[in-house]
Structure 1
Amino acid sequence: MTSGDNPFERPRRRRRLLLAGAAVVVLLLVAVTVVVIVGRLGRCAAGVPRIHGECVGVTDGRDHDHPWFAAKGQEKNWKPLLKAIWDENQRVRHSGKEYVTVAYLGPFSSAPERDLATGRIIPELEGAYVGQLRANRGEGGGDRPQIRLVLANQGGDQSEWRRVVRRLEHMTGAPDHLVAVAGLTLSTAATVQAALELSKAKIPMVGDVISGDGFDTEGAARAAVGLGSGPIPGLTRVNPQVADELDVIGTVLAKRHDLRTATLVTDQKATDLYARSLRTDFTRNPVLDSYLKRHHALEEVFTADRPDEPGLSNQFSVIAGNICGSDQPDMVFYAGRQKFIKTLFGYLAERCRRPITLVTGSDASAMADYPGPGSIIYAALADPDVLAGDRNPSRNAYLGFLAEFRRHFDVADLRTGWAIMAHDAMLTAAQAIRRTTGPAGKDDPIPENVRNMLYAQHATNRVLGASGDIDLGPTGNPAHRLIPVIQVAPDGKRTVLDVSSS
């Protein structure tokens, strides 16, 4: 009997076909599920390219259900913030009033090996949003035109600044009417390059925490990265620069008899102009340089992008051995980012015979936890305790900001000062826009006119910022800024050593 005559063969074939078909269906379902999951977790918004695994582009918050530039695990933080920005932008669009757009520029997405912002972005954008809200409700010279806020993500390491700046340049006309850029966020070579391109397009900029020396209209920062010399018209900022921070620190240290000697530790990363400014000012400031000369030690250097970078621990171990010898200094003058302080301090704690004090700039405000066992002294751009206290002559302006901020976000996000400075950058841009349109709100607030108006924001037209009064002049730098000097003890206790004006 042939197989075709076997009565049991046909049911077996049918079962095999059914099983094969079921397997195909399962595989298809799995494939579709994977595609859907990948699409939901990894897609970028329409018109936004994916580069190095990051979505790079501009958003007005409409994609808040899927925050496309959020790092893995940060979606819960991003969703309510983007939803709030989207809701306010929708209200602005349907308000019946004229509106213009202000872009907040920075590195919003992140990857461990590409993150320069070290957690500052969410607080900054919360501050920018509160600045938008307050401006639209009448702070900063009326409520016309209304302000629409968009977020411009350059990527975690700012490498896509050119792509994003070109997009912003195309937004100056209808329907967006972009008239200013706020934020900029980091004192790096990429920020200088972006500022130069925005300046060529006559788009004004208001930096919030770009504290490196020369990030202003005079443009000294461009020479530091080999981009020639000359001004950068339209580049302004609401924060003091590193040189001002260290001037205040020098005044404080001069009153301390327990601190006499120091060694300089520098991050040599060429693109980080914040670290470079610290290094320059530690040696150029006569008071601070005297501590270095009294110790007669060679400068210690390292180069790194992230705290867990291979080889960095060995560098810090050797550096700590050099510092903690028989002639240990009282202080380390630290010219680098706060993200490396914990690792460095860990090795100093192992090697040094006695606690050592680390002195540095405003980036130390971002330290989430304190490593000990020595103290840290740093200059803050904005300190909530100082601003809420009697030592602040502009206390009422801060309290008005605080009341609005706590309606939307956790006040713990104010600790670093980044949210406060971002609010002030937005409010400064909004006030220049309102002054440009005139009392009746009829004149056209084109970017070039807003840029020119920024330099008149002083005297009776100063900006009543949450961080204090902001007087902008022809250099693009603010005058008379409050600079608190903070000491953090090994047990984490914070003490305000001084509050000075730049």
Structure 2
Amino acid sequence: MPEQRQADTPAHTPPQRPPWWQQWWFRLSATGLALVLVVSAALWAVPRLLCGGEAGLVRVSGECVGVTDGSYLFPAERASLTNAFPADDAGADAEFDRFAEDFREVQEGIAEQNEKVAASGDDYVKVAFLAPLIPQDDRSFDHTRLLSSLWGVLAAQKRINGSRDFYDPAYPAVQVLLANEGDRQEHWRHSAEELVALSRDADHPLVTAFGMPLSSQATQDSVALLSEAGVPMVGGAAATDELNREDVPGFVRATPDVTDFTKALSRHLAAEDLDRAMTVFDDAGLQEGPDRFVDSLRGAYARDIRGVERLSQQPYTGQSLVKPPTPRLFAGIARKICSAAPDLVLFAGRTNDLAVFVESWAAEERDCSNDVDLTIAFMTTGLSVSRDDAVMRDLEEADARLILATTIDPAWTRGADSAPEGYGRFEEAFIEVAGEEARPTLVDGYAAMAHDALAVAAKSVRATALEIRESGAQDEGLPLPAIIAGQEKLNTSPEDMVVGAGGTLSYSTGGDGSPEGKPIPVVELPADKEGAASEDYYTTGGD
């Protein structure tokens, strides 16, 4: 007799297939979800794969921005350098090839140093050079200054990891990362946030960002973000007064600030027989907000240049960070100089605009009814303008002169006794990485300032590490607040000072983060084209 089904057990009912339209909708939904996931993955991965797969690099608007250890090489693209290497110039091809090779080799040199550090078995930390890293020829921080800066970085890194010039080379060793902010620093936030994330690495943290060669709003914003996250910083060429330790905790710099440059100018001009001053200033600058450099310089001129009658202030709309300026930019101002006949112009603009201003004045001076012997005063990181034969010729034809406060005296590059104690060692290291043919570029100052910024970073980190080791607290690692405090330890004794390319630098406890002990040469061009070679430089922290 067949087994009876239990009354409470439901009979098996085959599953009902949903209607065809529901089946179609389910399949479409699943396909759509998969497609969304694939597209999302592609949107995340492709921009990174285009930048070599580096975790911190992403391609935006045709440029790789973010942070790399040197395994990705930023390219030198001819299309961005057509002013420096014109397509119709027979010699430009070879010149561009040489530049591109130098730019590639210096990045490879940094990557090689990083690999050696990782393979050494020594304790090491990471620091990051923060700047626009795609070569451009029409920017204030142009391709030549970028290459000089990287040569300075590599020279410093080799000294830091291979000598006792900046304390024990093995405790800790230093890897250098390269952080690209974008062509006009428009991606500063992405790079700064990547640096903050790297500072949280428990094993080999990023302990300092250095470089920051531009006095710009983007620089101001990025250092504010890093400061808020507790990441120490060492500025290179950026000189604006608003970059200071009081407003940006954790910040020091290797270069003097604008106020110190202007004080050096003021001391020099006080000995000159000059009576009437006109200020020429850039009223546009970065076109992204206030131009921190111009604002600082105009304020310092008004405060520190004394003993002259003040004439009008003449604005111009600067373009050196957007496109190359032309003499037409200053034609109206040149006519006003002819009419008012000042003997001093206080120039507050970008370095690239200065040469065009001189050219414009020289053209106007030929037909000027007044006899104007013009002195143009300015401050600049370096004296690349001294190598511009056209500018020197314009100055001589117009019976005009430049008086420039700067970081490097060209006389130092020829072995003058006035060179700082550490300049010779820096120059040897620079020639080792850049070659003898690069020696003339030393006058631009960017190699020295990048070198000194990294040297300050390394020595402050090691001062902290040594103190922690001596206390027996190595297991605590290198807390970032301790490194910030370590910056102030660079003033306690001569051996703790940084014997850099630009001077023997120290930092006052509670000071504003500007270096003490930095000589500021004031050079007159074209008369001092070979350098001032002065034994009586204005020195920061002393006068």
The answer, yes or no, to whether TM exceeds 0.5 is: yes
Q: How far is the alpha carbon of 1:176 from its aligned partner? A: 4.4
The correspondence for 1:121, drawn from 121, 146, 168, is: 146
Say if 1:493 and 1:437 are closer, same or farther in 2 by CA, change over 3 A.
closer
Q: Give, in whole Å, the separation in 1 of the partners of 2:363 and 2:140.
A: 28
2:49 pairs with 1:53: no
- Corresponding residue number in structure 1 for 2:24: none
Q: How far is the alpha carbon of 1:496 from its aligned partner? A: 4.8
Bigger mean CA offset, 412-421 vs 431-440:
431-440
The correspondence for 2:223, drawn from 189, 192, 195, is: 195
Q: Give, in whole Å, the separation in 1 of the partners of 2:431 and 2:135.
A: 27
1:340-390 per-residue CA deviation (whole Å, 9 max, x = no partner) reads: 112111111111244522110124624351512221111111335248432
Say if 1:307 and 1:127 are closer, same or farther in 2 by CA, change over 3 A.
closer
- Map residues 58-207 of structure 1 onto 2, 5 A cutoff: 58-64=67-73, 67=75, 71=80, 73=96, 74-111=99-136, 115-118=139-142, 119-137=144-162, 138-143=164-169, 144-172=171-199, 173-174=201-202, 176-207=204-235
Contact 1:436 1:444 in 2 (8 A): no
Say if 1:307 and 1:146 are closer, same or farther in 2 by CA, change over 3 A.
closer
- Corresponding residue number in structure 1 for 2:522: 485
Say if 1:116 and 1:156 are closer, same or farther in 2 by CA, change over 3 A.
farther
Unaligned runs of 5+ in 2: 1-45, 82-95
Q: How far is the alpha carbon of 1:413 from its aligned partner? A: 2.6
Contact 1:420 1:467 in 2 (8 A): yes
1:287-313 per-residue CA deviation (whole Å, 9 max, x = no partner) reads: x243242xxx32110122328859964
2:239 pairs with 1:211: yes
Q: Give, in whole Å, the separation in 2 of the partners of 1:307 and 1:199.
A: 26
2:458 pairs with 1:430: yes
Q: Give, in whole Å, the separation in 1 of the partners of 2:135 and 2:271.
A: 42
Say if 1:241 and 1:123 are closer, same or farther in 2 by CA, change over 3 A.
same
1:203-251 per-residue CA deviation (whole Å, 9 max, x = no partner) reads: 10011111111311112xxxxxxxxxxxx21011121111111111111
Q: Give, in whole Å, the separation in 2 of the partners of 1:161 and 1:187.
A: 13
Structure 2 residue identity aligned to 1:280: G
Contact 2:65 2:187 in 1 (8 A): yes
2:318 pairs with 1:290: no
Q: How far is the alpha carbon of 1:485 from its aligned partner? A: 0.4
What TM-score do the two structures reach when normalised by structure 2? 0.75
2:481 pairs with 1:448: yes
- Corresponding residue number in structure 2 for 1:44: 51
1:24-54 per-residue CA deviation (whole Å, 9 max, x = no partner) reads: xxxxxxxxxxxxxxx9xx9533242233332
Contact 2:254 2:514 in 1 (8 A): yes
Give aligned-pair identity as a percent: 27
Structure 1 residue identity aligned to 2:521: P
- Corresponding residue number in structure 2 for 1:33: none
Q: Give, in whole Å, the separation in 2 of the partners of 1:62 and 1:469.
A: 34
1:460-494 per-residue CA deviation (whole Å, 9 max, x = no partner) reads: 12212221111112222212321110111179554
- Map residues 398-417 of structure 1 onto 2, 5 A cutoff: 398-409=423-434, 410-417=438-445
2:375 pairs with 1:357: yes
Structure 1 residue identity aligned to 2:155: V
- Corresponding residue number in structure 2 for 1:15: none
- Corresponding residue number in structure 2 for 1:13: none
2:349 pairs with 1:321: no
- Map residues 257-272 of structure 1 onto 2, 5 A cutoff: 257=273, 259-268=274-283, 269=285, 270-272=289-291
Say if 1:404 and 1:490 are closer, same or farther in 2 by CA, change over 3 A.
closer
Q: Give, in whole Å, the separation in 1 of the partners of 2:465 and 2:321.
A: 48
- Corresponding residue number in structure 2 for 1:236: 252
Q: Give, in whole Å, the separation in 1 of the partners of 2:253 and 2:382.
A: 20
Q: Residue 266 of structure 1 aligns to a residue in which SS?
A: strand
1:309-342 per-residue CA deviation (whole Å, 9 max, x = no partner) reads: 59964441111111112x3111211001110112
Q: How far is the alpha carbon of 1:184 from its aligned partner? A: 1.0
Q: Residue 117 of structure 1 aligns to a residue in which SS?
A: coil
| Structure with the greater alpha carbon radius of gyration | 2
Say if 1:463 and 1:307 are closer, same or farther in 2 by CA, change over 3 A.
closer
Q: Residue 101 of structure 1 aligns to a residue in which SS?
A: strand
Q: Residue 174 of structure 2 aligns to a residue in which SS?
A: strand
The correspondence for 2:505, drawn from 470, 484, 487, is: 470
Q: Give, in whole Å, the separation in 2 of the partners of 1:483 and 1:492.
A: 16
Contact 1:488 1:495 in 2 (8 A): no
Q: Residue 381 of structure 1 aligns to a residue in which SS?
A: coil
Contact 1:116 1:157 in 2 (8 A): no
Bigger mean CA offset, 269-278 vs 302-311:
302-311
- Corresponding residue number in structure 1 for 2:408: 382
1:137-192 per-residue CA deviation (whole Å, 9 max, x = no partner) reads: 22211111110001101012111110001111111205641111111111111111
Contact 1:307 1:340 in 2 (8 A): no
Q: Residue 456 of structure 1 aligns to a residue in which SS?
A: helix
Contact 2:130 2:180 in 1 (8 A): yes
Unaligned runs of 5+ in 1: 1-38, 220-231
Q: Give, in whole Å, the separation in 1 of the partners of 2:257 and 2:159.
A: 26
2:272 pairs with 1:256: yes
Contact 1:486 1:495 in 2 (8 A): yes
Structure 2 residue identity aligned to 1:156: D
- Corresponding residue number in structure 2 for 1:344: 357
- Corresponding residue number in structure 2 for 1:36: none
Structure 2 residue identity aligned to 1:67: P
Q: Give, in whole Å, the separation in 2 of the partners of 1:108 and 1:188.
A: 16
* Root mean square deviation, CA, Å: 2.6
Structure 2 residue identity aligned to 1:45: G
Q: Residue 239 of structure 1 aligns to a residue in which SS?
A: coil
Deviating 4+ runs (over 6 angstroms): none
Contact 2:521 2:532 in 1 (8 A): no
